[in-house]
Amino acid sequence: MADPIVIIDYDAGNLRSVQRACAEVGAQAVISNDPTQVKAASRIIFPGVGAAGSAMVSLRRNGLADALRGAVGDGKPVLGICLGLQISLRHSEENDTETLGLIPGETRRFRLDRPELKIPHMGWNEVRPVQPHPLLDGIEAGDEFYFVHAYYPAPEDQACVYARTTYEDDFAAAVGRGNYFGVQFHPEKSGRVGLALLDRFTRWDGQC
Amino acid sequence: MLSKRLIACLDVRDGKLAKSVRFVNTKDIGDPVEKAREYYADGLDELVFYDITASSDKRAIMLDVVEAVAKEVFIPLSVGGGVRSVADATDLRLAGAEKINVNSAAVARPALIAECAEAIGNQNVVLSMDIRQVPESADCPSGYEIVINGGRTPMGIDGLAWALEGERLGAGELVVNAIDADGTRDGYELKLTAMIAEAVRIPVIASGGAGKPEHLKEALTTGKADAALVASMVHYGDYRVSELKRWLHQEGVKMRMSW
């Protein structure tokens, strides 16, 4: 990789695990909260755990929200992970927050009827691609990824949903539009199949 | 559908692997980084390091172990033992731990759970509880009591009440470690595990007593646990991680079978 990947740092959790996973697949990644560096990046990973409300405050304060919107507009490959996917939608039920609006739709809290199902949805679960995408290429039936989340993305347009996972009901586990792609699971904690997805991202041209 | 998790716990003392039997007579059994790598390659779902280093001046060694493992092992990594403050939790997180286990220090000062949840997120705070069976009493109506200091100090706190308090304070997950069963290989405390799993809405990890694959199945079915923690049964080569997962899968327990 000629240009490093920029992992956007907006006080939304520990980003070094994402950086280490990038290193494992041979990609140099820098963690940055500098909008100039985000604008100059060749590709961007937008990770995050934590709450939507404080994440948006931090993104707006740092000028990172605009830098990220700009990068998506410029056609750079962007990978959202977990909260990074959720706040790419227009609104989140978490803290009733207006989010980035890169994808029409909202983030909703799990409302579960079966008492034995716990919140958060934590652990390994199957991710089933529902339409082809370069980043999902190679995922086989039965492949599981690691999830930790109490909220899930609900895009308005089903054409944006690339993979589904079942908890009590199905939810969107991978959401994309153009050069933006987001996953609800943690590829950096999902063993071989997660590393393979990150590896594909480091070589993705942003087309689908 | 969510898979049940198989978690291996590695006790680490002075940077080396140890396995305690009833928390005494610990004996050294090797290099934690090497073991972690082996289990990861063999399909382990999650790894726990428990630091049992006695002297505080050697605690920094644990950070090196975590750092070395996090470079090579890409599954959730949980670390506990001696976490007394948000600063301890943050240091371990920066070294590469995903989740932080709190135990004795949280019993002494429950606010530690809330402070850690605020700092690193609820989902990353695991409340580890050492529990022993006692006669039912006014203090311990569930018939289970919290103990600390590796089982040596009974606290007069009800085990079930503490689990609920831990959830209320913001723990994202509970480890139910049955001190009476720990190291015996006679099976998990199923009644205790099920009692807590039914009372809370956060995941419960069964711990203490695993010796046979059947014990894991019991914990994940009748014990209602979301994950089963193993130690000696895999550390000494009696069972392989993949072998346990395959057996559980064949018995109808939903497990992650491709890695």
At A115 the pLDDT is 85
Phi, psi of A134 (to 5 degrees): -55, -35
Domain membership of residue B123 (yes or no) is yes
Average confidence (pLDDT) over A5-30: 90
Domain membership of residue B63 (yes or no) is yes
At A13 the pLDDT is 65
Phi, psi of B241 (to 5 degrees): -55, -45
Cβ neighbors of A137 (< 8 A, separation 6 or more) are: A200
Do the Cβ atoms of B3 and A125 come within 8 Å? yes
Size of interface A-B (CB pairs under 8 A): 92
Average confidence (pLDDT) over B233-239: 90
Domain membership of residue B64 (yes or no) is yes
> Under DSSP, is residue B221 helix (H, G, I), strand (E, B) or coil?
coil
Do the Cβ atoms of A191 and B74 come within 8 Å? yes
Expressed as residue numbers, the domain containing B160 is: 5-250
Phi, psi of B85 (to 5 degrees): -150, 165
Contacts of B45 in chain A (CB under 8 A): 123-124
Please confirm, yes or no, whether B31 is among the known catalytic residues. no
Structure confidence by residue, pLDDT tens digits, B171-228: 999 999 999 998 889 999 999 999 999 999 999 999 999 999 999 999 999 999 999 9
pLDDT confidence of A2, banded at 50, 70, 90?
low
Q: Where are the domains of chain A?
A: 5-203
Element (H, E) at B128: strand B125-133
Structure confidence by residue, pLDDT tens digits, A109-148: 999 999 889 988 999 999 999 999 999 999 999 999 999 9
Among candidate residues B51, B130, B158, B182, the one labeled active-site is: B130
CATH of domain A5-203: 3.40.50.880
State whether ipTM is beyond 0.90.
Answer: yes
User: DSSP assignment, residue A134?
Assistant: G
Contacts of A26 in chain B (CB under 8 A): none
Side-chain-side CA neighbours of B149 within 13 Å: the count stands at 5
Q: Which CATH number is B61's domain given?
A: 3.20.20.70
Side-chain-side CA neighbours of A78 within 13 Å: the count stands at 27
Region of residue B150 (phi > 0: left; psi between -120 and 50: alpha; otherwise: beta): left
Do the Cβ atoms of B93 and A146 come within 8 Å? no
Distance, in angstroms, between B109 CA and closest chain A CA? 24
Cβ neighbors of A17 (< 8 A, separation 6 or more) are: A188, A189, B70, B96, B98
Please confirm, yes or no, whether B11 is among the known catalytic residues. yes
- Pick A20's closest partner by Cβ from B45, B70, B123: B70
pLDDT mean across residues, chain B:
92
Distance, in angstroms, between B207 CA and closest chain A CA? 17
At B19 the pLDDT is 60
What the block records as the tokens of B169 is 């304070």
Structure confidence by residue, pLDDT tens digits, B116-135: 998 888 899 999 999 999 99
Nearest CA in chain A to B91: A14
From B202, B201, B203, B204, select the one nearest B190 (Cα to Cα). B204
Q: What total number of domains does chain B contain? A: 1
Q: Give per-residue burial for B163-183: e unless 16+ CB within 10 Å, then b.
A: bebbbebbbbbbbbbbbbbbb
From A135, A138, A121, select the one nearest A45 (Cα to Cα). A135
At B20 the pLDDT is 53
Domain membership of residue B142 (yes or no) is yes
What the block records as the tokens of B91 is 């240091």
pLDDT mean across residues, chain A:
94
Nearest CA in chain B to A51: B121
Q: What percent of chain B has pLDDT over 70?
A: 95
Do the Cβ atoms of A124 and B124 come within 8 Å? no
